[in-house]
Amino acid sequence: MPVVDIDTDELRGLTGEDKTDEEFKQDLFALGLEYEGDTEDGLLQFEFGPDRLDRLSVEGVARSLRYQYGADRGVYVPETNDADWTIEVDPSVPDERPYVTGAVVRGVNLDESGLDSLIQLQEKLHATMGRGRAKGAIGVHDLTMLKGQALTEESEPSGTINAASSDLGATEKTVTYRGVDPEGDRFVPLDANTDMTPAQVLTDHPTGDTYAELVEDLDRYPAIYDELGLFSFPPVINGSRTEVDAGSRDLFIELTGTDQWTIDKMCVILCYALSARGGTVEEVQVDYADGATYPDEYGPELLRPDFDTDEKSVTHDRIETMLGVEVERDEVVDLFERSGMDAAYSLGEEETVYDVTVPPYRVDVLHPLDLVDDVGRAYGFNELEPSYPDIGTIGGRHERSRLERAVRTSLVGLGFEDMLNFHMTSGAENYDRMRLDERDPGADLSEAPLGAEPAAVITSPYSEDYTQLRTWALPSLVQVLENNTHRTYPQDLAEVGFVAHRDDDVNTRVAEDYRVAGVLARTDATYEDAKARVQAVCDDFDADVETPATTHPSFLDGRVAAVVVDGESVGVVGELHPAVLVERDMEVPVAAFEFSLSALE
């Protein structure tokens, strides 16, 4: 879950409330932000659900608090000035990262803490909506360091003037989003002293190294140019020429990514935060040139940031049913306004419907029921009186779960200690240490010893101890014995548990089964002891059991039999092979069995 670091002095300034840290913690818990601890710099850390991404900065959190305190009501949209800058999108932009958006913000009072907050918001948006910069990446630049070439016929890449773009008219200044050959141009990236090519950045710069995997397979890398050359290499790093510092007042924001809506919304959240610091937002024109991929739903000509509000309607009935309380209509409107929305209702013939205006930073509102949630939060969910629903249903357990319990009771009655082992294991434990050879997927398993079935393998596992599902349960019990040689004997252990193996004939490609398995580890354990217990369990469930001789690599030849219940071979019983025991430094014989739970149905 996202964590936001809050400077409470800033919070006091931005909310206009002179509250203590403790009071803020209480108020924020009510908003769903849970205090987690302090940073090294004395900031307070709050964790929250990844829905309200507009709260990833102190500015956004302050805005939410102002609504909670009633200092603000209703939808707020910052004023914007007309565009002075255009981002041209050249057809050379890599297809894998086609979209761009942006904004200009002038007259921001950044100072050190404002700059820290901006950097935090940028990083956290990258981590959440930006999906680690893959879906959306932000570059913020000092506008005064940019030089935009005038839009003249000569200076433009050919073919960019078309009927669509002339509708919006030309702006004074332009930057270009285009593709660059990995070795094509040089620039000085942030935190570097020399100029490099984009390819060199990926290999020689620490930030480049981190994000290399996002672009390294592309033929051309994404890049943004002004009149002076390359100043941004998204999604990897900015150039140092346009670096923002605490004294920067006019900012140029650009975002690139794989989804226009996503980068537009990230841009909106940034603009709201900078506007709260006194910045004036100025639109930026985005022109997708002929041949460049543009977003179908918006067309090739965009004015950004997109501060358009959204309209959704919700019925009064749905609000009351969901909250389980009666609410006055005007109170609902009030609750909407205290959530930063506007609402109007008309008394229809059958039901009241609220037409709700949703501000553009609310990326989480997908459906009318999200509006109900906002009303509930503003009302205070903890104000609601719990009530047990008056609904009659019949409870009961699944048949297999009843069978499992009955078998477990039999085993415990026979003196077994009930075990509960992991379902994941490694090939070494499941096969090798049991002297088994894994069969190939699709091989005929009719003659295969129990446990030798092909594994359902985990794709690139973290840990070499957990690389597959166990195909049988006995190895787990033998592992428990191995880990407990210092404990008192006898150790009679049993498990009724899950096993699985790969089987492409099954719908999920994994054949799942439940097994009854037991081990008797004691100085005088013999085949007979294991068979006696198999008989006892089978007898409890009225199952006829026979034990014809068989061979199995995990067991001692001549002391191992198949467990045949009602004519079907369902498992194995015998004395474990001395090699299995000695390899684990075990000094007592072990008699063991395993068979399918379904045999006892």
User: Which residue, 155 or 483, is less far from another protein as judged by CB?
Assistant: 483
Q: Quick one: DSSP state of residue 572?
A: E
User: Which residue, 364 or 432, is less far from another protein as judged by CB?
Assistant: 364
CB 160 within 8 A of CB 168: no
Using alpha carbons, select from 274, 244, 253, 224 the residue that is nearest to residue 145: 244
**Token pair of 566, please?**
């009602």
Tell me the closest approach of the beta carbon of residue 498 to another protein, in angstroms. 6
How many residues are there in the chain? 601
Tell me the closest approach of the beta carbon of residue 116 to another protein, in angstroms. 25
Using alpha carbons, select from 600, 581, 583 the residue that is nearest to residue 592: 581
Tell me the closest approach of the beta carbon of residue 379 to another protein, in angstroms. 10
Tell me the closest approach of the beta carbon of residue 98 to another protein, in angstroms. 14
| Cβ-based neighbours of 579, under 8 Å, separated by 6 or more | 435
User: Which residue, 243 or 512, is less far from another protein as judged by CB?
Assistant: 512
User: Which residue, 79 or 385, is less far from another protein as judged by CB?
Assistant: 385
User: Which residue, 247 or 389, is less far from another protein as judged by CB?
Assistant: 389
User: Which residue, 135 or 178, is less far from another protein as judged by CB?
Assistant: 135
Tell me the closest approach of the beta carbon of residue 587 to another protein, in angstroms. 16
Q: Which long-range contacts (CB under 8 A, 24 or more apart) does 78-82 make?
A: 78/271, 78/272, 78/275, 78/281, 78/307, 79/280, 79/281, 80/281, 80/282, 80/283, 80/305, 80/307, 81/106, 81/280, 81/281, 81/282, 81/283, 82/282, 82/283
Calpha distance 147→290 (Å, rounded): 24
Tell me the closest approach of the beta carbon of residue 417 to another protein, in angstroms. 6
User: Which residue, 484 or 551, is less far from another protein as judged by CB?
Assistant: 484
Tell me the closest approach of the beta carbon of residue 213 to another protein, in angstroms. 13
Calpha distance 597→601 (Å, rounded): 7
Report the run of H or E that residue 417 belongs to, with start and end.
strand 417-418
User: Which residue, 324 or 578, is less far from another protein as judged by CB?
Assistant: 324
Using alpha carbons, select from 127, 154, 149, 151 the residue that is nearest to residue 138: 127
User: Which residue, 71 or 384, is less far from another protein as judged by CB?
Assistant: 384
| Cβ-based neighbours of 13, under 8 Å, separated by 6 or more | none
Tell me the closest approach of the beta carbon of residue 411 to another protein, in angstroms. 7
Report the run of H or E that residue 117 belongs to, with start and end.
helix 111-127
Using alpha carbons, select from 260, 254, 259 the residue that is nearest to residue 122: 254
Tell me the closest approach of the beta carbon of residue 241 to another protein, in angstroms. 33
Tell me the closest approach of the beta carbon of residue 165 to another protein, in angstroms. 25
User: Which residue, 50 or 107, is less far from another protein as judged by CB?
Assistant: 50
Phi, psi of 50 (to 5 degrees): -80, 40
Tell me the closest approach of the beta carbon of residue 309 to another protein, in angstroms. 13
Tell me the closest approach of the beta carbon of residue 561 to another protein, in angstroms. 24
Handedness of CA 535, 538, 543, 549 (dihedral sign): negative
Calpha distance 337→358 (Å, rounded): 10
User: Which residue, 90 or 404, is less far from another protein as judged by CB?
Assistant: 404
Using alpha carbons, select from 160, 162, 57, 154 the residue that is nearest to residue 110: 57
User: Which residue, 130 or 148, is less far from another protein as judged by CB?
Assistant: 130
Phi, psi of 563 (to 5 degrees): -90, 115
Q: Where are the alpha helices (DSSP H) in 260-328?
A: 260-276, 316-323
User: Which residue, 152 or 488, is less far from another protein as judged by CB?
Assistant: 488
| Cβ-based neighbours of 163, under 8 Å, separated by 6 or more | none
User: Which residue, 423 or 559, is less far from another protein as judged by CB?
Assistant: 423
CA distances from 512 to 315, 459, 503 (A): 47, 18, 9
Tell me the closest approach of the beta carbon of residue 449 to another protein, in angstroms. 22
SS3 (DSSP) at 340? coil
CA distances from 54 to 19, 60, 187, 270, 512 (A): 22, 5, 33, 8, 45
End-to-end, the C-alpha distance of the chain in Å comes to 45
CB 501 within 8 A of CB 472: no
Tell me the closest approach of the beta carbon of residue 403 to another protein, in angstroms. 11
Q: Where are the alpha helices (DSSP H) in 183-277?
A: 198-204, 206-211, 260-276
